[in-house]
Amino acid sequence: MKRTLLLVDHGSRLAEANALLDAVAARVRQRLPDRLVRTAHLELAPPAIPDAIDAAVGEGAGEIVIAPWFLAPGAHTTRDLRRLAEEGERRHPGVRIACAEPLGLDERLVDVLLARIAAV
């Protein structure tokens, strides 16, 4: 049974915006070499979350954690992602799919924000 981390963002029509999530996933893979790390987008770009869940299960995932690349809790993180996780569990009995919380308020993010401001 493989443990999978599915990094999810909103998705964009701009390829460079979607590529950012792939870059994040590459860094997470370096830190978690024992996990499958995949990406998906809620809207506007492939792969869609249901497709990514199905692909992960096809690769042997028995547990999937959906990790939102979102800052704040909102409709997508509190409703949409949880609904997609539940639908995935119904499609794949025996596979556990859970949702992590959004990034939220974290002093490390404040430090990044201040660094960006100082760079202007």
| pLDDT (0 to 100) of residue 1 | 74
Segments of the chain with pLDDT less than 50: none
39-62 pLDDT, tens digit per residue, is: 999 999 999 999 999 999 999 999
Find the DSSP H helices in 5-74: 15-31, 49-58
| pLDDT (0 to 100) of residue 14 | 95
| pLDDT (0 to 100) of residue 9 | 96
- For 2-118, CATH gives 3.40.50.1400
H or E segment at 6? strand 2-9
Domain coordinates of the chain in residue numbers?
2-118
Query: What token pair was written down for 92?
Result: 């794949």
Q: Quick check: 68 and 21 in contact, CB under 8 A?
A: no
| pLDDT (0 to 100) of residue 19 | 96
